[in-house]
Amino acid sequence: MTFHTSPGEAAPVLAVIGPTAVGKTELSISLALAMEGEIISADSRQLYRGMEIGTAKATREQRALVPHRLLDIVDPDQVLSAAEYQALAYAAIDETLARGRLPLLVGGTGQYVRAVLEGWSMPGVPPQPRLRTELEAEAGRLGAAALHARLATLDAAAAARIDYRNVRRVIRALEVCTITGEPISRLQSKKAPPYRILRLGIDRPRAELYARIDERVDAMMAAGLVDEVARLVAAGYGWDLPAMSGLGYKQIGGYLRGESSLAAATDLIKRQTRRFVHQQHTWFRPDDPDICWVDPGRVSLEEILRPARRWLESER
């Protein structure tokens, strides 16, 4: 097994990336225990307090084994931009390194992962709630492809990079264009951060991954996902919040409002999670030469640890 590393200063960062339900949490904890590491979450939904079950956060017992950073840092009605997340992640990485521990950046939010690992410079345009509402309504009325086509007329380079189904990213690009008068692709740049990076991609055969998704959704339902969503609503968090439109929360919301049966909502979570996996693979491509892909169902932990330890020791 060959690992690819990024050139740079001798400050190691291990990124554990891949689609949802693939097993990143379990593997990253095993790696952290074996390599004296700490985990820094790169999951845009696990930032929210009070959203435990539907975001598949590490359990209290898992967090007791290995320190986890950037979990539970904002309330569900707060918005954290990618630029703000990036600054928090760099601070967490540097603090971890200062303690002599290995930072493990773990998650499946491609924008967050790449913003950190590639050193994106992002436009400092704050969210525009009214404009976003208008664009969301337009997407609902005309369709995601139409909104993407509108972006293509304003910023062809950004449109080429953004999947039309990722409505939130399309809206963000339109938001920046509207507010600044400049294409977001022109305002974005990259400067490699001062880390030596090992990108470890986790994936499984598609049928196996889909079965794991179904099992995880069933486990979430058994653990009380409906009650979790109901508690959030009772606390005053509205259905229109981005946090409440995430996988699991949106579909259970439909059930709680009487728009579907619980069985139908559960099935919809499974189907839309599979669709989400397709979107994640646009961020983490199997042919990316900078990512070493492993299947934890077919490669032992020790087989992963041997070259990973050599990579880490070569830094020292």
Residue 5: band (very low, low, confident or very high) from pLDDT cuts 50, 70, 90? low
Read off the pLDDT of residues 235-253 as tens digits, 9 standing for 90 and up: 999 998 989 999 999 999 9
- How many whole angstroms separate alpha carbon 101 and alpha carbon 113? 20
What 8-state DSSP symbol labels residue 127?
P
Read off the pLDDT of residues 30-68 as tens digits, 9 standing for 90 and up: 999 999 999 999 999 999 999 999 999 999 999 999 999
Instruction: For domain 129-187, give the fold.
Output: Histone, subunit A (1.10.20)
As annotated, the residues of the chain forming the CATH 1.10.20.140 domain(s) are 129-187
Q: Which candidate, 30, 41, 90, places its Cα nearest to that of 65?
A: 30
The CATH code for residues 12-121+194-222+281-315 is: 3.40.50.300
- How many whole angstroms separate alpha carbon 204 and alpha carbon 56? 18
Residue 286's pLDDT is what?
A: 85
Instruction: Specify the amino acid at residue 159.
Output: A
Q: Which residue do the tokens 């030469």 mark?
A: 289
Read off the pLDDT of residues 226-238 as tens digits, 9 standing for 90 and up: 999 999 999 999 9
Using CA of residue 90, residue 92, residue 97, residue 103, what is the dihedral sign? negative
Say yes or no to pLDDT of 1 above 60: no
Cβ atoms of residues 48 and 79 within 8 Å: no
Tokens of 100: 């002599």
Instruction: Provide the mean pLDDT of the chain.
Output: 92
The total of other beta-carbon atoms located within 10 Å of residue 126's CB is 11
Q: Which candidate, 69, 162, 76, places its Cα nearest to that of 116?
A: 69
As annotated, the residues of the chain forming the CATH 3.40.50.300 domain(s) are 12-121+194-222+281-315
Angle at 164 between CA 161 and CA 168, to 5 degrees: 90
Read off the pLDDT of residues 144-172 as tens digits, 9 standing for 90 and up: 999 999 999 999 988 998 988 889 889 98
Residue 23's pLDDT is what?
A: 96
| Alpha carbon distances (Å) from 256 to 122, 216, 287 | 38, 21, 42
Share of the chain above pLDDT 70, in %: 96
Residue 4's pLDDT is what?
A: 55
Say yes or no to pLDDT of 203 above 80: yes
Residue 6: band (very low, low, confident or very high) from pLDDT cuts 50, 70, 90? low
Using CA of residue 48, residue 54, residue 59, residue 62, what is the dihedral sign? negative
Q: Which candidate, 47, 112, 146, places its Cα nearest to that of 283?
A: 112
Work out the average pLDDT over 73-94.
Answer: 94
Q: Which candidate, 104, 108, 105, places its Cα nearest to that of 209?
A: 108
Instruction: Specify the amino acid at residue 84.
Output: E
Q: Assign 3-class secondary structure to 249-260.
A: HHHHHHHHCCCC
Read off the pLDDT of residues 281-295 as tens digits, 9 standing for 90 and up: 888 988 899 999 999
